[in-house]
Amino acid sequence: MLKDDLDRFLGGKDLYKKVGKSWKRGYLLYGPPGTVIAAMANYLKFNIYDLNLSAVLSNEDLRSILLSTTDRSILVIEDVDCCTKFYDKEKKDYTFTQSGLLNIMDGLWSSCGDERIIVFTTNHMDRLDPALLRPGRMDVHVHMSYCTMDGFKILASNYLNIEADHQLYRQIEGLLENVEVTPAEIAEELLKSGGTDVVLGGLVKFFEQKTLQKAKVAELKELLKSDDNTDVDVEGFVKFLKQEKHKNANAAEAERLLKIDHTYVDVDVNGEGLVKLFKQKKLEDAKAAEAAKVNIQKNHN
């Protein structure tokens, strides 16, 4: 779909001129991160400009930035959902506004140059102002899903020049059905050195590790369920583990105990023991808080 739309855009100069529209196109990519923007630029042979809206202090700054871009280019605004408040109370000279962005997109962006694409990315489409989503600003909305087998074959063809099936494809397909992995993660694995068999073998190990991590997260979530008013989510447990890591003077032992970041869990972690320790600490904290509350009430009396 995306490739077909890009082809129509490239060949649409006369049509855009005929209907009186500027030769530009806007895309919204939402979902897990990937490598699509780089692929778009390579396919079109366009330059890429990466715009960080949080560094733009005023509407005039944005205007100057857009005027400095060239034809046959892609302007990228990533994580636009994080930039839609467009103000900072601590910066008195921060005058960049959402209306300024919309006006510049409708005015300056529509009138300067040709063969230009603007790409917005977001992980939370529901947080975006509907005014940003309408055609003429974000013409095409593309959902970036986790990698499928068809998507993997395209990556393998691009990175490893594999045109036919490979002996490991059946195993890879089975693993892909059980893990959530982005095209960007797979591309990173395919960039590693070695022959085709070595690289794909490493990718299989990567998927197997992901599978073990997924099982460990599920195990921890089950262990964290409790009937003693100490229910916690995995993120709270992660925070606790990180605190334990900092207390541990032996860095090597700490790394063995914990390699965790939100949903990444070291498969060697003794989950049951750590969960018991965590729940015990939660109960102790609750008792301490209750004792402090009682002492405050006694002092007031």
CATH number at residue 100: 3.40.50.300
Answer for the pair 278, 232: CB distance below 8 angstroms, yes or no.
yes
> How many angstroms separate the Cα of 175 from the Cα of each of 123, 152, 210?
25, 12, 9
Residue 218 and residue 231 in one domain: no
User: Do residues 120 and 200 both lie within one domain?
Assistant: no
Mark whether 206 and 243 lie in a shared domain.
no
Task: Give residue 145's pLDDT.
Answer: 81
Last residue of a domain, one of 223, 248, 269: 223
| Number of separate domains in the chain | 3
| 197 plus 237 within the same structural domain | no
| DSSP character at residue 114 | S
Q: Please state, as a whole number, how many other Cβ atoms lie within 10 Å of the Cβ of residue 76.
A: 21
Claim to verify: residue 218 and residue 232 sit in the same structural domain: no
Residues 6+ apart with CB under 8 A from 145: 31, 32
- State whether 209 and 232 are in the same domain: no
Q: What is the pLDDT of residue 135?
A: 84
**pTM of structure:** 0.59
Predicted pLDDT of residue 180: 86
In the chain, the amino acid numbered 191 is L
Q: What is the pLDDT of residue 298?
A: 66
**Looking at the structure, do residues 139 and 27 belong to the same domain, yes or no?**
yes
Residues 23 and 59 in one domain: yes
Identify whether residues 184 and 287 lie together within a single domain: no
Same domain, 130 and 167: no
The whole-number pLDDT of residue 169 equals 93
Which of 91, 117, 143 finishes a domain?
Answer: 143
Pair 21, 128 in one domain: yes
Q: With a cut of 70, which residues of the chain have pLDDT below it?
A: 33-35, 83-97, 107-111, 220-221, 223-279, 294, 296-301
| Per-residue pLDDT tens over the stretch 33-78 | 666 787 788 888 899 998 887 777 777 888 888 888 888 999 898 8
Residue 191 domain boundaries: 147-223
| 94 & 26 share domain | yes
Spatial separation of the C-alpha atoms in residues 138 and 283, rounded to whole Å: 50
Last residue of a domain, one of 198, 223, 248: 223
